[in-house]
Amino acid sequence: MSNITDELELKGWLMDRLPYEMVWVREDSQIIYANARFCKGVGYSLKECMKLKVSDINVTVTPESWKNHWEEVMTKGAVQFRAVHKTKKGKFYEVEVHVQKFSYNGNSYICGTTNEFSESSFYKNLIDNTHSIANVGGWELNLHDGSILATNCALDILNAENSEELTPPKVIYKFKDSGRFKFLLGEVIRKGIAFDELFETKDSPPRYIRAVAKPILKGDKIYKVLGVYQDVTEIKHKENDVTLYKTIIDNAQDLIYVYNDKGDLLHYSESLIEKLGFSKKELNKMSMFDLDTSVTREFYNSHFEELREKGLHRFEWLISRKDGTKFPVDITASHLKYYDEDYSCAVVRDITAKKMRDLKLYEALEEIKFLKERLENENEYLQEEISNKINFNNIIGQSQAYKSVLIQVDQVAPTEATVLITGESGTGKELLARAIHNSSGRKNRPLIKLNCATLPKDLIESELFGHKKGAFTGAIANKAGKFTLADGGTIFLDEIGELPIELQPKLLRVLQEGEYDELGGTKTIKIDVRIIAATNRDLKEMIREGQFREDLYYRLNVFPIHNIPLRARKDDIPLLAQFFLEKYSAKAGKTFKRLSKDTIDALMHYNFPGNIRELENMIERAVIVENGPTLKPGNWIPEKDIVAASNDFKSFEANQRDYIIEVLDHTNWRVSGPNGAAKILKMKDKTLFAKMKRLGIEKKISLK
C-alpha cells in the first residue's frame, strides 16, 4: 500500500465486489454509503442512495419505527431479520438483513449486509409466473403505515407503474364504479368486512376485474388487508357469449332438444315449458319416452340408426302437450358425437299454421273444382235453354182477374217460401215461376227447370239428385243433379204431380233438411235451393188415391198461387194476341201490324182449352198462312167441336159454357120461346140470360 488514498480506493474496490449488498447508515437513518451491488439491487446510483433514508428502501421500516430499530441494534450490537426492499421502479424483493453497530470517531453507525432471500425469490417467481398464467395478482396493504405490497401481476392487471398506484385513494379510480370500490375498501379497512366482487375498468374496451379483499387481524385489530385482483375479462366474455347463446336458444321459435341414444333428455330450450305446458322441474325428470308416450323403443332405435348413418334425420311428427292435445311439427335432428357417445340435437318446428294453410288451400282447390264443375254444368244447361229460345221476360195481362195473380207473385217473390203454382196447362205457370225467381234475392243464381212428366220414371232421380260414375248401368261419368246446379238459386219442378211416389220422400228431405244423398255417392250433400213447383193435376185428389204424399203436399203448398185459365181473363186476349202477332210477324219477316175487329171478336168467343199456349200457337200459325198488315179471321181459328174434344180437364164452368153455346148454335142463338135454348136447357129465360152473362156468352157471335 503506497498511501492512504490507495488503501481507501482498494477497500472501496473490494467492497463493490463483495457478493453482498452493503449499506452504511447514520443515527438519523440517512444512508452514508452503499456498495455497487446494493445500488444495483435498489436501482439507484450511489449519489442517489446517499440522499435516501432507510425507510425509502426498506418498506418494513417507517420514519417513526426507525428509532426502535436503531436502539435495538445499539443495545444488541448485531441483529438479523428479513425485510422487503423497494426498488427505484417501485418493485419489491425480500431480503435477509444482517446489521451490526460500529463506532467511528465517537459516532455510532450501522452497517447492513443484505442478501436477496433466495427462497422468497423462488416463491416470488413462482407466484409471479402462476399469477400471470391465471391472471391473478396479490397485494397487501399495511394499515399501520399505509404502505402496500403488490405482485408484478397485480400491477400488470391494473396497468399500474408502481405499487403506489394500488393504494386505496388511487386504485379506486381504475374502476368505472369507483364509488362502490371505495365503499367496499372502506368496509374491509374499517370494519373487516371482506368482499369479492366484479368490477369494470375504465379502459376501452373495458376489462372485468374480480377484486377480493379480506382483513388480517392481530388480536381483534385489523392491521393488514390482503387482496387479489383477477382479470376475468375473457371468462366474462365467454360467460356473456354463453348467456347470449342460451338466450337465443331459449327465445327461438323452434323447440330444441338434446338427447342421447338411451332416451335421456339432456338439454332443452326454455320454449318447451311454454309450448308443452310442463314445468322445468317436471322436464328435468323426464326422458324422451315420458315426453312422448307414442315413441316406441323400436322407433327410437331406428331414429338413432338413421342419425348415425346419415348424420341427419328429418321427419314430421305429432307432439303431445301435457294436457294431451297434440300439434304437428317438422323435426330436424342432427347427430353429435361427444366422448364416443351418440347424441342428437333436434330442432322442432311447429307447423300447425302451415298445415292449416295446406288444408285451406286444399279446401279452396276443392271449392274451385266444385265451382268450375258447377259453372260448366250451368253453362251447359243455359246453352240448352238458349237454344230452346225461351223468352220469359214479358208477362202480358191487365185483366182484374190476372192482376190478383200477379199481386201474389209480387208478394211471395222476395221471400224464401216454397211456392205451388196450380192451373191448367198453358196458362203461363212457368212464366210465373220465372217472374218469382227474377224478383227474388236469388236472381243472380240460375233458375233450374225440370219437368217431371217428360222424363222416364227411372231417370228422374239421377236427373234431380245427380249420380256418381258407376252408380247404375249407363252411369259412365259423374253427373251433377239439377239440385246441385240450382244451389243458391231456384229449382222449378214442373208437373210435380208426376213425381214418382218412391222419390217423394227424398224431395221431402230436401224441403225439410236442405240435404240429400247422392246416387252411388257416399256423402250427404247440403244445398240451399228455393223450390217452386207447378201442377195442372188435382193433388188433393191424388193424395186420396195414394199417388201423392200428403206431407209433401203441405210442404209444397206453403204459398199456393192458382193461375187462371185464359177464358177467365178474356180481357187479356186482344193484348196477348197483338203481342204474339208482333212477335211472330217479326220472326217470319211479315208485315202484320194489327188484328181486325172480327178477329178479336172471334178470339174473344173462343174458350181456349189450351190457354195462352193455344192462342200463341194459333197466332203463329195465322202469321204463316195469312198476310198483313191486318190479321183477319180465317181457318186458323179452330172449330168449336174440336176445341171441346181436346179439353180433357175443362172446368165445370167451361163445360157449362161450351154446352150452352152448343145449344145456342142449335137454336140459331134463340134463347126464349118454344124453340129457344132455355126450353131445351129446361130453365127460365131470365136464368139463362144471367148465366150467359156470367159465363161471358154474347148473343150475337160471328165465327167467320
* Helix (H), strand (E), coil (C) string for 144-208: CCCCEEECHHHHHHCCCCCHHHHCHHHHHHHECCHHHHHHHHHHHHHHCCCEEEEEEECCCCCCE
CA distance 614 to 565: 11
* Strand 630-631 relative to strand 594-595, pairing: parallel
Quick one: 32 or 624, whose CB is closer to ligand ATP?
Answer: 624
Are 701 and 601 within 8 A, CB to CB?
A: yes
3-state SS, residue 374: helix
Smallest gap from Cβ 576 to ligand ATP, in A, equals: 6
Q: Which residues pair with 347 in a beta bridge?
A: 256, 332
Smallest gap from Cβ 360 to ligand ATP, in A, equals: 45
Please give the residue ranges that form the binding site for ligand ATP (CB under 6 A). 394-397, 423, 425-431, 494, 534, 536, 612-613, 616
Smallest gap from Cβ 381 to ligand ATP, in A, equals: 18
Quick one: 156 or 620, whose CB is closer to ligand ATP?
Answer: 620
Smallest gap from Cβ 614 to ligand ATP, in A, equals: 9
Are 78 and 112 within 8 A, CB to CB?
A: no
Residue nearest ligand ATP, Cβ-based: 428
Quick one: 84 or 576, whose CB is closer to ligand ATP?
Answer: 576
CA distance 97 to 79: 8
Are 208 and 234 within 8 A, CB to CB?
A: no
Residue found under cell 431479520? 81
CA distance 155 to 148: 12
Give the dihedral sign, CA 561/565/566/567.
negative
Quick one: 3 or 388, whose CB is closer to ligand ATP?
Answer: 388
Quick one: 227 or 428, whose CB is closer to ligand ATP?
Answer: 428
Quick one: 138 or 446, whose CB is closer to ligand ATP?
Answer: 446
Smallest gap from Cβ 586 to ligand ATP, in A, equals: 15
CB-based burial, 390-420: b 16+ in 10 Å, e otherwise: eebeeeebebeebeebeebbeebbeeeebbb
3-state SS, residue 684: coil
Checking phi first, is residue 542 left (phi over 0); if not, alpha (psi -120 to 50) or beta? Answer: alpha
Smallest gap from Cβ 681 to ligand ATP, in A, equals: 33
Q: Length of the chain, please?
A: 704
Dump the DSSP string for 632-645. Answer: PP-TTSPPHHHHHH
Quick one: 279 or 393, whose CB is closer to ligand ATP?
Answer: 393
Quick one: 431 or 602, whose CB is closer to ligand ATP?
Answer: 431
Smallest gap from Cβ 612 to ligand ATP, in A, equals: 4
Smallest gap from Cβ 570 to ligand ATP, in A, equals: 13
Smallest gap from Cβ 430 to ligand ATP, in A, equals: 3
Q: What is the largest CA-CA distance in the chain?
A: 209
Cis peptide before 205 (omega within 30 of 0): yes
Angle between helices 611-625 and 573-588 (to 10 degrees): 40
Joined grid coordinates for residue 173:
379510480
Quick one: 5 or 394, whose CB is closer to ligand ATP?
Answer: 394
Smallest gap from Cβ 610 to ligand ATP, in A, equals: 9
Quick one: 330 or 582, whose CB is closer to ligand ATP?
Answer: 582
Quick one: 139 or 492, whose CB is closer to ligand ATP?
Answer: 492
Smallest gap from Cβ 572 to ligand ATP, in A, equals: 7
Quick one: 3 or 394, whose CB is closer to ligand ATP?
Answer: 394
Smallest gap from Cβ 510 to ligand ATP, in A, equals: 22
* Strand 559-562 relative to strand 530-535, pairing: unpaired
